[in-house]
Amino acid sequence: MLAYNILEVTTMAEIIAIMGDSVQQFMWLVAVLFFGILEASTVSLVSIWFMGGALIAMVLSMLGLPLWIQITMFITTSALLLIFTKPLVEKWLNTGKVKTNADALIGKQARVTETIDNNKSTGAVYVDGKTWTARNTIDDIVIDIDKYVEVVRIEGVKLIVDYK
């Protein structure tokens, strides 16, 4: 290794270039491990894409390519993985998701059992064998008993319904 005047070195990239390829390889290995541990701790597909980018950059470092190429490929690979594989992976991971409990009511038809009047804070509907407190999506419209409505969302313990 050549002797350098430390006062002449001004950037981290220069320091890494002086120290050689082994430091660059170690730096990318640390990045791979960091992003892997971060992903394992969050389990929400946050950093796995950067782990792939760091792995590619580490291989490029082993091939002796300059640091600027390694960094460019890290950014490019991470972005491409994020853009093209995240939607596929999320779709694959969410295939078995089944609506449970109250979420299963969204989109269902319900029968009005108490007049729904948002201005008077009254209203109830019967859906899936249970009676729920209900409010209309539009405040000024009153929905009479025995009309059918669609459940559009849930706010707390109230069903928000839409009369068509």
Q: Which of 93, 126, 153 is the last residue of a domain?
A: 93
Q: Is the pLDDT of residue 97 over 70?
A: no
Distance CA(140)–CA(137), nearest Å, equals 9
- Last-in-domain residue among 44, 67, 93: 93
Q: How far is CA 2 from CA 12, 13, 68, 120, 128, in A?
A: 17, 17, 22, 84, 79
Q: How does residue 99 score in pLDDT terms, banded at 50, 70 and 90?
A: low
Q: Is 15 among the domain residues?
A: yes
Q: Is residue 106 part of a domain?
A: yes
Q: Are residues 89 and 12 in the same domain?
A: yes
Instruction: Check whether residue 64 and residue 112 sit in a common domain.
Output: no
Mean per-residue pLDDT, 107-129: 92
By residue count, the chain amounts to 164
Per-residue pLDDT at 124 exceeds 90: yes
DSSP summary character for residue 4: -
Residue-averaged pLDDT of the chain: 83
pLDDT in tens, 129-161: 899 999 999 888 899 999 999 999 988 889 999
Owner of token pair 């597909």: 45
Domain that residue 132 falls in? 101-162
Average pLDDT over residues 35-54: 85
Structure tokens at 121: 């804070």
Query: What pLDDT does residue 90 have?
Result: 73
The count of structural domains within the chain is: 2
Give the pLDDT confidence score for residue 1 in this predicted structure.
Answer: 44
**Residue 75 located in a structural domain:** yes
Provide mean pLDDT across the span 43-70: 88
**Where does a domain end: 72, 93, 114?**
93
Distance CA 54, CA 113 (A): 60
Query: Rounded to an integer, what distance in angstroms lies between the CA atom of residue 51 and that of residue 71?
Result: 13
Residues 116 and 86 reside in one and the same domain: no
Which domain CATH number covers 132? 2.40.50.140
In a domain, 148, yes or no: yes
Region 103-120 average pLDDT = 90
- Flag whether 149 is in a domain: yes
pTM across the whole model: 0.48
Residues whose CB is less than 8 angstroms from the CB of residue 100 and which lie 6 or more positions away in sequence, other chains included: none
51 and 114, same domain (yes or no): no
pLDDT of 4 > 60? The answer is no
pLDDT at 22 over 60: yes
Residues 118 and 55 in one domain: no
Which of 79-88, 97-106, 139-148 is predicted most confidently?
A: 139-148
- For residue 140, what pLDDT is reported? 87
Q: Is residue 1 part of a domain?
A: no
